Amino acid sequence: MTDTLTVPGSRAAKPQQILDAARQLFLKDGFGATSMDAIAKTAGVSKATVYARFSSKEELFAAMMNAECGRTWPELSGSELYNLDPVGKLREVAARYVRFITSPYTVSLLRVVAAEATRTPELGRIFYENAPGLGRRRFAELLQAADAKGILRVSDPLRAADHFFSLLRSDMHIRCLVGLPAPAEGELDDHAREVVEMFLRLYQPAPASA
């Protein structure tokens, strides 16, 4: 469970090397197409060393996924975000989110979780709660604060958060999932801006004059 600690000192770096190699290969090729040989070779250790720490391929996969599933929302928040006004926050979160969901890392992670969802049902729940679910709840809190200040009118913050993120994913998300190229940076930014404007049209107390 919580033996991810193993003395963070000088040596005992090999377990981490193994996890790094596992992440790299599992996310690139998926569970089935990744062999323990390849992981050992990439980590620079022997296969027996891998098995000394992780008793099976499944356990190594689970350990890697548990470590990765928590890394998403931090990339979307960040302390400098809290100096912005509410609408500025919308714009900043939108700009980060479109980059985030189209990034190769995020796309690979979702692919692998989806591919293994039937074989490992709890994996999907862990991923959802720590990544999209967490982002959704955090963003809903932000919307609720904006509602309290009278800047937005949001009666159901979670639902509004869904609208915001859904519109940002657009069909870019599906396109990236199936391997089509992500839009260029400029298009991502344009899209994010347009979605923020649309979101404001939907949720600003006084409708925009347009």
Partner DNA sequence: GTCTATAAAGGGATAGAC
Partner DNA sequence: GTCTATCCCTTTATAGAC
Site for DNA, rule CB under 7 A: 6, 11-12, 14-15, 34-37, 44-49, 51-53, 55-58
For a second copy, the closer CB: 14 or 75? 75
Buried b (16+ CB within 10 A) or exposed e, 47-83: eebbeebbeebeebbbbbbeebbeebbeebbeeeeee
Identify the DSSP state of 13.
Answer: -
Taking CB under 8 A as the criterion, the residue among 76, 110, 146, 151 binding a second copy is 110
* Only segment of 22-30, 39-47, 57-65, 143-151 that touches a second copy (CB under 8 A): 22-30
The yes or no reply on residue 183 touching a second copy (CB under 8 A) is no
For DNA, the closer CB: 47 or 99? 47
List of residues 6+ apart from 163 with CB closer than 8 A: 199, 202
Interacting partner of 84 out of a second copy, DNA, none (Cβ under 5 to 8 A depending on kind): none
Comparing CA positions, the residue from 130, 13, 120 lying closest to residue 68 is 130
Interacting partner of 167 out of DNA, a second copy, none (Cβ under 5 to 8 A depending on kind): a second copy
